[in-house]
Structure 1
Amino acid sequence: MSEDAGFRLTDWPAASSPAPSIVADQAETAALVEAAGWPVSAIGMSLAHRADILVLDWRWQVPIKLPALATDCGVLALVSLDTIDAADALLTGHAARCVFGGSAALIAAELSELRMLVQAGHARDPSGDERARLQSLASELARLAEQLGALSEEGRGDETGPALADRSHAYQAEEPLDRIAARPPSAQRVRHLIAMRRLRDRYFPSDLFADPAWDILLDLTASRLEKKPVSVSSLCIAAAVPPTTALRWVRMMTDQGLLERRADPADARRMFVDLSDAAYANVCGWFALVEQRGGLGV
């Protein structure tokens, strides 16, 4: 699945609000930024202190430290799987985004979000409109299903509820009545489930079943049971989606309290990602409930 799929440069027009001052670390980086439709104000690390947004090419090497930056400066780093761990650790605490490779569409998307951060204090999620449309569609399907169910009840003459027009259109998953104490599954069982999910890719396009949040939760659950630390780069691979997409999910899940970051005590240039205790308890609860209801058959 290409990370450019579905992205258009016009989706994040640089001219829709005052252009920020963008400083690139070198001419080659500036050319990538301009190819994405964004003007570069200056080139060279000596001018980093003037930047609203600093763009860095860290695809091959990450420096020991960042230059002096304004407190509200945004940072965009071009990275690779070999450098993402060091980049993530160095950028902790900054308004920063990472892009794998030099895709013009992805650079445009992340620069748009950084512009919102530095100019308005909040970011617009480029995929938010799509998620809103999907949520609206899901609500409509739930409403139709409820109406069909009600009509079926009427056909049997046992309709006792309120009129269809008064029914709630919201959908919620059932609250499990048979909730039980969450007993952790074995790491082998979790890994088996992950392997089964990857087997689907042999028969269907992998993006058809893209579910990075669940893949991330499963991988971190297995790693916690195995007492193995998980780096950002490893988690990007485990998410089974393009790396930049995986980074967005890691960021979102961290903001929601599902994931926690901690420094590697042996290497300050690397961050580990863990499940929060609440998220771990919920995953274990899901496995326990599924087992009680007949299991996964694995």
Structure 2
Amino acid sequence: MPPANFAYAPVEAGDAVTLPLALSVFADRAMVRTQMCEDAELAGFRIVAAEPVDSLLDDAIRPLGDVVLLDCPDMAGARLAALARLDMRVANAGAQLIVSTSLDALDAVFGCLDQSAPQILIAPSRAERMIALGRALAYAPGLHVRELEEQDRLTLLRLTEQVAQLAQRLGGLEGAPATAGRAKGAFRFESPRPAFAAQGDDPGDRLVAPARSALPDARMIRQIIRNRQARARFFDGELFADPAWDILLDLTAARAEHAQVSVTSLCIASGVPPTTALRWIGQMTDAGLLKRVEDPSDRRRAFIALTDSAADGMFRYFAQVGAGGLAVV
């Protein structure tokens, strides 16, 4: 039986043919830069630049392409400014940005990226990078991918995480270089629809309360969070992975405490790997549940908070559960 061909074939449009998406790579570590180029070529991209990160610091205009892959595990002052400029260029060009960094540098990186809606990966494996490239294909304009009929972004997100977990458990793509005999284009994703909308609901009515409910007791919410975390002492923590709810609980407690929550802190609170948590934060932001809040005292910092509509939904949930005398989990 011949092997399955997952090649992403060019799409004809009249007399023109869609070329492979152009991609630029910026990474200081030569081995990482080579791996990123191999993975991008395997996924069907066309490499237009592969240079060290410091090349972004000079005044030369670098080709960006449709997708930019950037590896910056540590951030210095000059690099922060270069990353902010790159974020603006990517946004203005309508391109996509995929940034790999470390947990220590996450808050600094997140603070610089407020315009391009990037995918941020924390110390990613090659499997996770390939997943990010596949998502970039899903969002690329003009590729004529099919619209999902019954599924939405939440389904795509869960499928993405399942594929990533399966790839890592089976050894994934670690140490597997691209080979000349492989078909170009490792992914064929369908384009997602707007997220988290129940069937028949008007998106404008989601989580909107006629009147603001009272804040729940932050101490109670913190105790709920501790109780949820305690389950991992007796069972495999993956059995209870529910990052969206853990994120909502943590931010609800922070709102009641009038506290700010950094993206690094929220990743830890989610109970899943940081890269997975960042995907959930991105999807929940797109869905209108979370929002980015700039630090007025330091423009290089940004926090994550509940939107007013999401806060109303959480407050009404706690009020309803409390009125029924039921335990909250």
Normalising by structure 1, what TM-score? Answer: 0.71
Determine the structure 1 residue equivalent to 2:31.
28
Q: Residues 244, 264 of structure 1: CA spacing in aligned structure 2 closer, same or farther, 3 A cutoff?
A: same
Query: Deviation of residue 33 (structure 1)?
Result: 1.4
Q: Within 5 A, what are the aligned runs for 1:1-298? A: 15-16=8-9, 18-26=19-27, 27-36=30-39, 37-38=42-43, 40-44=47-51, 45=55, 48-61=62-75, 62-65=79-82, 66-67=85-86, 68-69=89-90, 71-120=93-142, 128=156, 182-296=213-327
Q: Which of 1 and 2 has greater Rg?
A: 1
**SS of equivalent residue, structure 1 residue 63:** helix
- State how many pairs are aligned: 245
Three-state SS of the structure 1 residue aligned to 2:120 is strand
Residues 51, 210 of structure 1: CA spacing in aligned structure 2 closer, same or farther, 3 A cutoff?
same
What's the RMSD between the two structures over aligned residues? 3.4
Mapped to 1, the partners of 2:67 and 2:4 lie a distance apart of: 19
What code does the residue aligned with 2:260 have? P
8 A Cα contact 2:124 2:275, kept in partner? no
| Deviation of the 1:247 alpha carbon | 0.8
- CA deviation after TM superposition for structure 1 residue 129, in Å: 8.4
Structure 2 CA distance for aligned equivalents of residues 47 and 31 of structure 1: 22
After the TM superposition, which of the residue ranges 113-122 and 237-246 deviates more from structure 2? 113-122
Q: Give deviations 1:199-220, integer Å, cap 9, x for gaps.
A: 1101111111111111011000
What displacement does 1:23 show? 1.4
For residues 64 and 212 of structure 2, what CA distance do their matches in structure 1 show? Answer: 56
**Do the aligned partners of residues 232 and 12 (structure 1) sit closer, same or farther apart at CA in structure 2, a change above 3 Å counting?**
farther
SS in 2 for 1:267: coil
The 3-state SS of whatever aligns with 2:128 is helix
Give structure 1 stretches of 5+ with no counterpart.
1-9, 135-169, 171-179
Distance 2:295 2:319 in 1: 32
Counting helix residues as a fraction of each chain, which structure ranks higher? 1
Q: Summarize the Cα distance change of 1:16–1:238 in structure 2 as closer, same or farther, 3 Å threshold.
A: farther
Q: Is the 8 A contact 1:22 1:42 kept in 2?
A: yes
2:141 alignment partner, SS class = helix
Deviation at 1:41, TM superposition (A): 3.4
Q: In 1, are the aligned partners of 2:321 and 2:328 still within 8 Å (CA)? A: no
User: In the alignment, which residue of structure 2 is the partner of 1:153?
Assistant: none
Corresponding residue SS for 1:98: strand
Offset from partner CA, 1:88-124 (integer Å, 9 cap, x none): 2222211421111131111111112223334348999
Maintained 8 Å contact 1:96/1:114: no
In structure 2, do the counterparts of structure 1 residues 25 and 181 end up closer, same or farther at CA, with 3 Å as the change threshold?
A: closer
